[in-house]
Homo-oligomer: A and B are copies of this chain.
Amino acid sequence: MGDLKLIKNFKVTDGFFGRYEKLVKDVVLPYQERALNDQIEGAEKSHCIENFRMAAQKLKTGECDGAFYGMVFQDSDVAKWLEGAAYSLAQYPDADLEARCDEIISLIGEAQQEDGYLNTYFTVKEPDKRWTNLQEAHELYCAGHMIEAAVAYAECTGKTRLLEIMCGMSDHIYKHFVEEGAEGYPGHPEIELALMRLYHSTGVERYKELALHFINVRGVNSDYYNEEQAKRGWTVWGANPVDKEYTQCNVPVREQKKAVGHAVRAVYLYTGMADAAVETGDKELANACETLWNNITQHRMYVTGAIGSAYEGEAFTKDDHLPNDTAYAETCAAIGLIFFSNKMLYLARHGKYADVMERALYNCVLAGMQLDGTKFFYVNPLEVLPGISGEAKTHKHTLPVRPKWFTCACCPPNVARLLASVAEYAWHMVEGTLFSNLFIAGTLDVTDSLGGKVSLRTSYPYDNKMEYHFEPRREKMSMTLAVRMPAWSRETKIAINGKASDCEIRDGYAYLQGDFGADDVVTVEFDMAVRRVYTSSRVSANTGRAAVQRGPLIYCAEGVDNENDILSLSLKKDGRVTVSEYLPEKLCGIQELYAEGYRETVSEELYNYETPEAEPCRITLVPYYTWANRGLNQMRVWMPERD
């Protein structure tokens, strides 16, 4: 999304993310490859590779055996998987995986029509209906994801076959929408951000122009989908175009003040808008992005970085409506919020954007995947009660354990591509300044720009100490290192070679300017004291409640650690919370927290006139990202607090 060179040039040595990177390589990508090829027993069928095979066959022979299967956007699962594989290959060269990717890319090429058009749903199933149903049919969305895969694959492997394919498709889209003046804009935004990436990678102005076109026309004719529906005479799933907020076309993008509608669509759109604003210097567009980002993070974001309060429309609802147990909180939406926040960093250098990236990554996104990499959450609630969650009609979406795959499998490959490209969000290079946004141990080669390498040594997020080392190619690296000062750290100590530094701290970053040599060490020590989190009393669900955070990690109580009943627990106000040793065997390595609290006697009677009896107790808390890894189980983030 940002500077892909960072991915190629960063060697992760991190204990925490290193495990994820290896997991992506060894487990997630192979597992998902099997899923896409329908080789996982008991998992939802994907059929998406098969769809490409059929499209290729049809283009070659005029016919194909079998029928298209899956969602209208099934192609995008292949795209996201390829993108993840590309990032992984940049870290871990793997000739075998690369060969398999090349084979799929070759298949994709065969599924491309002569005029550049690529989409298996339309090629196999609805050849006469191309571009007639932008509202529902996700053609531009699928194109966007494949463009992202193409850019990633080219940057990471140097191979440009997929890029050529997708330049062909992009040219086709340009011709249709710009040259031939076809009306409309994508029902599911995605292509805007993808075209910006294509532009950054290729330098071809046409792609930026096309991205801007889709951004600029959106919502100008806010009746477009109604008109399209009246004309087209067919439907994918009977979506109602009357709900204009759902697709963020209620007003032109520069006039949008609230994050509304389908949360993934929203943040994908805003990402494209922010990138376009950076590129064009369009102040109005930049202001809209800032307004929307503020609206999300001040009124519509869970403490885990999750967004989307309602199952209905997988959507944002209203300001300050953040129910915990019925949250939609889709993994993809939190990933999209990371994309958006990352782009905001280019618009306005402020640590708060990276704070939100960290919040979403270490909490909601990581929780989206089983620790072993083979199961996934689509929905990431902040409270789960077996017997209700996943069972009540109001809670069918809040599954208490991760399934193997989904009919709509957008989230699993999205997690894979994000985890494999985490370096992109960790670092940020701007004119001689290296921004350290996420604290992931490893070595970044910035020889090109700064004449050497910078390494970060840390055991974050279970350690508060960051050590930056330098490997200048010649003597010194003259540069500024800008280290994010996370909002959760009350007091951060910064030292150069053991001597406290009074560097400039501005807008959430500590700016360390200097000529750094091989013996120099910049040390940053965060205050990782356990902190209570309180929600503004504007949010009804969390009044009287607190959450517990340490470093970037939001903690939760699970039944399995707490006598299988967490609803009777309250945190003691100002009570002590102790931090366990690092437990390498538990949940792939965590530090638990033990909070002073109370356990209420559970009354048989539903309503009582006496204060329930409560005994002091110790509440065990584990990081939210590890929940639901030990079977069916209660879970709660926000707990009542009492004296």
Instruction: Give the contact stretch, choosing among A13-21, A54-62, A384-392, A423-431.
Output: A384-392
Residue in chain B with minimal CB distance to A612 = B534
Instruction: Give the contact stretch, choosing among A175-183, A316-324, A400-408, A471-479.
Output: A316-324
**Residue A237 at the B interface, CB < 8 A?**
no
A310 touches B643 (CB 8 A): no
Instruction: Give the residues in chain B near A567, CB-CB below 8 Å.
Output: 537-540, 543
In the assembled complex, how far is the CB of residue A318 from the closest CB belonging to chain B, in whole angstroms? 5
In the assembled complex, how far is the CB of residue A336 from the closest CB belonging to chain B, in whole angstroms? 19
Those of A497-555 within 8 Å (CB) of chain B: 531-540, 543-545, 549
Instruction: Give the contact stretch, choosing among A77-85, A444-452, A599-607.
Output: A599-607
Residue in chain B with minimal CB distance to A546 = B611
In the assembled complex, how far is the CB of residue A236 from the closest CB belonging to chain B, in whole angstroms? 20
Q: How many copies does the complex hold?
A: 2
**Residue A301 at the B interface, CB < 8 A?**
yes
Those of A591-617 within 8 Å (CB) of chain B: 600, 602-612
Docked Cα-Cα span, A317 to B309, in Å, equals 20
B532 touches A609 (CB 8 A): yes
Instruction: Give the residues in chain B near A570, CB-CB below 8 Å.
Output: 543-544
**Residue A312 at the B interface, CB < 8 A?**
yes
Instruction: Give the residues in chain B near A318, CB-CB below 8 Å.
Output: 387-388, 391-392
Instruction: Give the residues in chain B near A545, CB-CB below 8 Å.
Output: 544, 640
A536 touches B604 (CB 8 A): yes
Docked Cα-Cα span, A607 to B573, in Å, equals 17
Given contacts A310-B394, A643-B642, contact A388 B609 (CB under 8 A): no
B310 touches A641 (CB 8 A): no
Those of A554-583 within 8 Å (CB) of chain B: 565, 567-568, 570, 573-574
A531 touches B602 (CB 8 A): no
Given contacts A605-B298, A606-B299, A607-B303, contact A537 B600 (CB under 8 A): yes
Instruction: Give the residues in chain B near A568, CB-CB below 8 Å.
Output: 537, 543
Instruction: Give the residues in chain B near A603, CB-CB below 8 Å.
Output: 534, 536-537
A609 touches B533 (CB 8 A): yes
Docked Cα-Cα span, A170 to B623, in Å, equals 64
**Residue A326 at the B interface, CB < 8 A?**
yes
A607 touches B534 (CB 8 A): yes
**Residue A383 at the B interface, CB < 8 A?**
yes
Docked Cα-Cα span, A574 to B299, in Å, equals 33
Docked Cα-Cα span, A619 to B551, in Å, equals 37
In the assembled complex, how far is the CB of residue A321 from the closest CB belonging to chain B, in whole angstroms? 5
Given contacts A391-B318, A540-B325, A643-B643, contact A608 B533 (CB under 8 A): yes
A 317-345 binary contact with B (CB < 8 Å = 1; else 0)? 11111010110000000000000000000
B537 touches A310 (CB 8 A): no
Instruction: Give the residues in chain B near A607, CB-CB below 8 Å.
Output: 303, 533-536
Instruction: Give the residues in chain B near A231, CB-CB below 8 Å.
Output: none
**Residue A297 at the B interface, CB < 8 A?**
yes
Docked Cα-Cα span, A570 to B544, in Å, equals 8
B537 touches A602 (CB 8 A): yes
Docked Cα-Cα span, A310 to B490, in Å, equals 43
**Residue A313 at the B interface, CB < 8 A?**
yes
In the assembled complex, how far is the CB of residue A624 from the closest CB belonging to chain B, in whole angstroms? 14
Docked Cα-Cα span, A552 to B391, in Å, equals 34
Instruction: Give the residues in chain B near A540, CB-CB below 8 Å.
Output: 325, 383, 385, 567, 636
A612 touches B537 (CB 8 A): yes
In the assembled complex, how far is the CB of residue A354 from the closest CB belonging to chain B, in whole angstroms? 16
A319, A320, A394 — most chain B CB neighbours (10 Å): A394
A 614-643 binary contact with B (CB < 8 Å = 1; else 0)? 000000000000000000000010001111
Instruction: Give the residues in chain B near A325, CB-CB below 8 Å.
Output: 540
**Residue A315 at the B interface, CB < 8 A?**
yes
B392 touches A317 (CB 8 A): yes
**Residue A488 at the B interface, CB < 8 A?**
yes
Instruction: Give the residues in chain B near A611, CB-CB below 8 Å.
Output: 532, 534, 573-574
Instruction: Give the residues in chain B near A321, CB-CB below 8 Å.
Output: 385, 388, 392, 394
A640 touches B609 (CB 8 A): no
17 A-B residue pairs with CB within 8 Å: A298-B606, A312-B393, A319-B387, A321-B385, A321-B392, A323-B394, A383-B540, A532-B609, A534-B609, A534-B611, A535-B607, A536-B606, A537-B567, A537-B612, A539-B567, A573-B643, A643-B643
Give the 6 A-B CB pairs with smallest separation, nearest first: A544-B640, A643-B643, A317-B392, A312-B393, A537-B568, A536-B603
Seed contacts A298-B606, A534-B610, A544-B641; 14 additional CB < 8 Å A-B pairs:
A297-B606, A298-B605, A310-B394, A313-B393, A320-B387, A320-B388, A321-B394, A487-B609, A533-B608, A533-B609, A536-B608, A537-B567, A544-B642, A642-B642
